[in-house]
């Protein structure tokens, strides 16, 4: 794996498995009386957020703090960015202050790649425009793996505004790498051009797709999309592509419902579905986000140079020949 | 000679564990308040075996646990991140005597990390250390309370402990040039 985490597509199946395994071990830290390990003492992680985000920023902040890293939260509002400072100058300033990792959320697709060219620090993409959100995909895979033994042949539907969804793109990349069969379900206006090259099936008919799925991932519908003319009305969207109790009943008994949040209850997901104790794993997704981000920070910052290096399973410490 | 040489065979390992178990009982005057905690990877099956032997000797069960020290190492950032494991301590450490178990004691840095990790889970009354092999070359002021075999080695040599649970069979093998072997 690369030095940075920019795209879910950069991760191989063994990389993803290692992140998920490490996350499973680190999840136990949260259950302890002392919810902290000294692993990244003396390392500094900067959350560089140019877009509003509550859960992702807090999740990264908690993950870094549980590993004993120092955390700086930088939000564009009220910073020198609002005075017109460029991303490059902001990056150079942070580098000069000696940060070891920059977690970036930016409205422009590709911003993390530019940042990675300018700084020595590890760059983690926490969502760039309508492009990618790899840590969300990894926490979704972790949540799926808690319910299903293998991704091989697992049927996953991703439903909603695929066109503007960085969650959908990263999930398709990670899920197909792991051997899952992904179906994208959306009105034609909310599917990107050349979606057929993504390696996922495409459908406009949610009712036909639902009964065959193991996992149904609902995407947030941004309300301003309706004003922009992508669909006629929220009511019509909810009727055709919303997951309500009636549709839930057509799903297989073992199938689960996911949502990256924040939810529009009554639009893409009905309250009774979101709160369903048997089906909904939405609260698990939030909790798992911390463990997965701890695993990533450990794997990206816990080594000497770049990337994961070779996994050293049970390698004896200093016992072998030099 | 530089080919692998067997230092302990399966029967030797078994005898060493039986002797260590008796030493633990003797030192602690029984097994009251005693727990055995193995350090991942090969300390864990050793700890389970020691706990079972202690149970046979004293006729009462001794709880066993597993400790992962990857997050407590002092070489984080100096080499690729170590694989993590689950820490399982299904008992309260407060007031207990913990026998920490590992396969090989060398620099002492793993044991130092283990002491830090244990401290995060509670305050035992005492911590003792049992190892199957002590190969010397300590870099920290630590010593083992119970040793299966003191093995003089050269720093260039590798000591490989194999256990039935992880490697199919029990045994301790030493590899590499032996000419500069020194006692600890």
CA dist A283 and A256 (Å) reads 12
User: Tokens 């099956």 map to which residue?
Assistant: B45
pLDDT for residue A320 is more than 80: no
Q: Which residue of B has its CA nearest to A68?
A: B71
* Confidence at residue A308, expressed as pLDDT on a 0 to 100 scale: 54
Among A67-81, A265-279, B148-162, the minimum mean pLDDT is found in A67-81
**Contact between chains at A319 and B42 (C-beta distance less than 8 A):** no
pLDDT for residue A311 is more than 50: no
Local confidence band at B142 (pLDDT 50, 70, 90 cut-offs): very high
pLDDT tens-place string over residues B62-84: 999 999 999 999 999 898 999 99
In this structure, is residue A317 part of a structural domain?
no
The structural domain count of chain A equals: 2
CA dihedral of residues B141, B145, B147, B150 (deg, nearest 10): 40
What's the whole-number mean pLDDT along residues B115-124?
A: 95
CA dist A234 and A228 (Å) reads 12
Residue B135 contacts A, CB cutoff 8 Å: yes
CA dist A9 and A222 (Å) reads 25
Is residue A260 located within the same domain as residue A194?
yes
Structure token digits, residue B83? 């694989």
Chain B residues with CB-CB distance to A301 below 8 A: 77
**DSSP, residue by residue, A243-300:** B-HHHHHTS-TT-EEE--S---BTTTB-HHHHT-TTTB-HHHHHHHHHHHHHHHHHHH
Q: Domain range for residue A223?
A: 134-281
Any residues with CB less than 8 A from the CB of A233 and at least 6 apart, and which?
A226
> How close, in Å, is residue A211 to chain B by CA atoms?
37
In this structure, is residue A202 part of a structural domain?
yes
User: Tokens 């498995």 map to which residue?
Assistant: A17
> Which is catalytic among the residues A3, A39, A55, A114?
A55
What's the whole-number mean pLDDT along residues A15-35?
A: 94
What's the whole-number mean pLDDT along residues B78-107?
A: 95
* Confidence at residue A314, expressed as pLDDT on a 0 to 100 scale: 39
* Confidence at residue A287, expressed as pLDDT on a 0 to 100 scale: 95
Terminal C-alpha separation, chain B: 21
In this structure, is residue A265 part of a structural domain?
yes
In this structure, is residue A201 part of a structural domain?
yes
- CATH classification of the domain holding A14: 3.40.50.1370
Establish whether A56 is a catalytic residue.
yes
The better pLDDT of the pair B3, B106 is held by B106
Give all domains of chain B, ordered by start, each with its CATH number.
11-152 (3.40.50.2020)
CA dist B23 and B37 (Å) reads 17
In this structure, is residue A91 part of a structural domain?
yes
Taking CA atoms, B9 is separated from B21, B169, B177, in Å, by: 19, 9, 21
CA dist A216 and A177 (Å) reads 18
Is residue A36 located within the same domain as residue A156?
no
What's the whole-number mean pLDDT along residues B155-161?
A: 92
pLDDT for residue A316 is more than 70: no
Structure token digits, residue A17? 């498995």
CA dist B116 and B98 (Å) reads 13
pLDDT tens-place string over residues A207-229: 999 999 999 999 999 887 778 88
Structure token digits, residue B120? 């995060």
ipTM of the complex: 0.86
Mean pLDDT estimate for chain B: 93
CA dihedral of residues A62, A67, A68, A73 (deg, nearest 10): -40
Among A74-88, A246-260, B37-51, B85-99, the minimum mean pLDDT is found in A74-88
Is residue A49 located within the same domain as residue A183?
no
User: Tokens 């006692």 map to which residue?
Assistant: B183
In this structure, is residue A182 part of a structural domain?
yes
pLDDT for residue A318 is more than 70: no
CA dist B103 and B147 (Å) reads 10
Is residue A185 located within the same domain as residue A125?
no
* Confidence at residue A153, expressed as pLDDT on a 0 to 100 scale: 97
Is residue A175 located within the same domain as residue A247?
yes
pLDDT tens-place string over residues A164-207: 999 999 999 999 999 999 999 999 999 999 999 999 999 999 99
Local confidence band at A76 (pLDDT 50, 70, 90 cut-offs): confident
Is residue A249 located within the same domain as residue A147?
yes
In this structure, is residue A164 part of a structural domain?
yes
Taking CA atoms, B103 is separated from A296, A316, B100, in Å, by: 30, 10, 10
Structure token digits, residue B97? 């005597």
Is residue A267 located within the same domain as residue A140?
yes
* Confidence at residue A164, expressed as pLDDT on a 0 to 100 scale: 93
User: Tokens 């979704």 map to which residue?
Assistant: A140
* Confidence at residue A315, expressed as pLDDT on a 0 to 100 scale: 38
Is residue A219 located within the same domain as residue A163?
yes
Is residue A94 located within the same domain as residue A141?
no
What's the whole-number mean pLDDT along residues A291-297?
A: 98
Identity of the residue in B81, B156, B159 whose CB atom sits nearest the CB atom of A302: B81
* Confidence at residue B179, expressed as pLDDT on a 0 to 100 scale: 60
CA dist A113 and A136 (Å) reads 18
Residue B102 contacts A, CB cutoff 8 Å: no
Identity of the residue in B42, B68, B156 whose CB atom sits nearest the CB atom of A322: B156
């Amino acid at each position: 794996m690369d030095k940075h985490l920019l795209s879910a597509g950069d991760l191989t199946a063994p990389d993803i498995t290692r992140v998920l395994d490490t996350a499973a071990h680190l999840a136990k830290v949260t259950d302890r009386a002392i919810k902290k390990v000294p692993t990244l003492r003396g390392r500094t992680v900067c959350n560089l957020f140019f877009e509003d985000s509550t859960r992702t920023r807090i999740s990264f902040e908690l993950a870094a703090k549980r590993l004993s890293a120092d955390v700086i939260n930088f939000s564009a509002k009220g910073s020198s960015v609002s005075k017109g400072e460029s991303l490059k100058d902001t990056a150079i300033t942070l580098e000069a202050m000696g940060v070891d990792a920059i977690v970036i959320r930016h409205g422009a697709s590709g911003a993390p790649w530019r940042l990675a060219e300018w700084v020595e620090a590890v760059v983690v993409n926490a969502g760039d425009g309508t492009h990618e959100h790899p840590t969300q995909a990894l926490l979704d895979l972790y949540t799926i793996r808690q319910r299903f033994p293998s991704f091989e042949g697992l049927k996953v539907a991703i439903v909603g505004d695929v066109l503007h969804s960085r969650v959908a793109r990263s999930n398709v990349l990670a899920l197909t790498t792991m051997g899952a069969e992904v179906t994208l379900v959306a009105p034609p206006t909310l599917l990107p051009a050349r979606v057929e090259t993504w390696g996922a099936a495409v459908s406009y008919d949610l009712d036909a797709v639902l009964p065959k799925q193991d996992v149904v991932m609902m995407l947030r519908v941004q309300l301003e999309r309706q004003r922009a003319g992508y669909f006629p009305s929220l009511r019509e969207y909810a009727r055709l592509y919303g997951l309500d109790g009636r549709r839930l009943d057509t799903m297989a008994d073992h199938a689960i419902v996911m949502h990256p949040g924040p939810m529009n209850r009554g639009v893409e997901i009905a309250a009774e579905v979101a709160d369903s104790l048997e089906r909904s794993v939405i609260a698990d997704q939030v909790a798992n986000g911390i463990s997965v981000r701890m695993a990533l920070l450990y794997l990206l910052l816990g080594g000497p140079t770049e990337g994961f290096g070779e996994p050293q399973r049970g390698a004896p410490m200093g016992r072998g020949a030099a | 000679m530089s080919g692998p040489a067997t230092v302990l065979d399966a029967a030797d390992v078994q005898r060493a564990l039986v002797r260590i178990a008796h030493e633990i009982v003797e030192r602690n005057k029984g097994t009251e308040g005693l727990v055995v905690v193995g350090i991942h990877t090969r300390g864990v099956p050793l700890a389970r075996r020691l706990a079972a032997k202690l149970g046979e000797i004293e006729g009462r069960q001794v709880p066993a646990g597993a400790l992962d020290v990857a997050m407590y190492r002092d070489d984080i950032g100096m080499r690729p991140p170590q694989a993590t494991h689950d820490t399982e301590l299904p008992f309260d450490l407060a007031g207990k005597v913990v026998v920490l178990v590992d396969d090989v004691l060398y620099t002492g840095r793993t044991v130092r990390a283990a002491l830090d990790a244990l401290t995060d889970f509670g305050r035992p009354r005492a911590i003792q250390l049992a190892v199957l092999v002590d190969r010397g070359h300590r870099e920290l002021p630590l010593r083992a309370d119970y040793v299966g075999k003191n093995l003089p080695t050269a720093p260039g040599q590798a000591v490989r402990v194999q256990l039935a649970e992880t490697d199919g069979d029990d045994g301790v093998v030493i590899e590499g040039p032996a000419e500069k072997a020194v006692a600890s």
